[in-house]
Amino acid sequence: MSAPLQGLILAGGLSARMQRDKAALTYLGKSQLDRVFELASRHLSKVFISVRAEQTAEPARAAKPQIVDSVAGGGPIVGIRSAFAQHPETAWLVLACDLPFLTDSALAHLLAARDPLRIATAYRSTHDGLPEPLCAIWEPAAAQALAAHQAAGRTCPRKFLINSNTKLVEPLEPRALDNINTPEEYIEAGRALDAAPGPHTMQLKIQYYALLREQAGRSEETWETTAATPAAVYAELNARYRFTLAREQLRVAVNSEFSDWTRALHTGDALVFIPPVAGG
């Protein structure tokens, strides 16, 4: 039995290199805090923002469910530990609020890959191969070890995940976890998002057969998504329907022909996920 999962958006950082509140940076006309909060809320029924005590009444933060730092120290570990202190039986999807390129499909892929028996499930960084602690699922078992980590004078959540039995997930979208720390990176990210055709929503036709049809409770549906590949679409559908078949057991067909999992999809494409066959 895995622990219930809630969202924790880290919005208490000092944004020292940015020299202004990262949560208030806007992309496509919406603050980054609102963007990531809404994103997480599309996948999880309960999402909190992690704040410092002096931030609780700030207009951008006051209206959202908060977890106020209750642990001494600095850095993101304080927010994560405070969440465990308040909800010890809960696992947390921890998200930084400086991930402007994070998408629904990237989040769904991580959620589908969750292994509740590990300390954490985290993306492997495309830059250095190490775990990304601030777009990761932290299981309740991490709480005590995190306290010990901090008591030993260590504040880096990444080092903690490197030294734990973290499940590492390969990202399907290389840029999804790019974070921004400096004013220059902010300007560049804003340009990239403005130039992109928005979060490009496609309508896909999904047809289900056999076991997947029964588990989805339907033979077909139209699926609106920004997921760019069959692999990312399966991750989204798996997060919704909790299929018992892992992607590794399936093949996929696009427009009635076998396809590979990383092909670029276009609106109107018809997808069929093919369970292990049993002819004859």
* Residues of this chain that bind other proteins (CB under 8 A): 207, 209-211, 213, 244-246, 248-249, 253, 256-258, 272, 274-280
**Which residue number, 187 or 210, has a Cβ lying nearer to other proteins?**
210
Coil, strand, or helix at residue 141?
coil
DSSP letters, 14-74, are: --TTTTS-GGG-EETTEEHHHHHHHHHHTT-S-EEEEE-GGGTT-HHHHTS-EEE--S-S-
**Which residue number, 45 or 256, has a Cβ lying nearer to other proteins?**
256
Q: How far is the CB of 258 from other proteins (least distance, A)?
A: 7
**Which residue number, 14 or 246, has a Cβ lying nearer to other proteins?**
246
Q: How far is the CB of 253 from other proteins (least distance, A)?
A: 5
Structure tokens at 83: 């969440």
Query: If we measure between CA atoms, which residue out of 107, 119, 137, 118 comes closest to residue 240?
Result: 107
DSSP letters, 72-140, are: -S-SHHHHHHHHHHH-TT-EEEEEES--TT--HHHHHHHHHH--TTSSEEEEEPTTTSSEEEEEEEE-T
Q: How far is the CB of 256 from other proteins (least distance, A)?
A: 4
**Which residue number, 19 or 256, has a Cβ lying nearer to other proteins?**
256
Q: How far is the CB of 213 from other proteins (least distance, A)?
A: 8
**Which residue number, 27 or 243, has a Cβ lying nearer to other proteins?**
243
CB atoms within 10 A of CB 127: 10
Q: How far is the CB of 241 from other proteins (least distance, A)?
A: 14
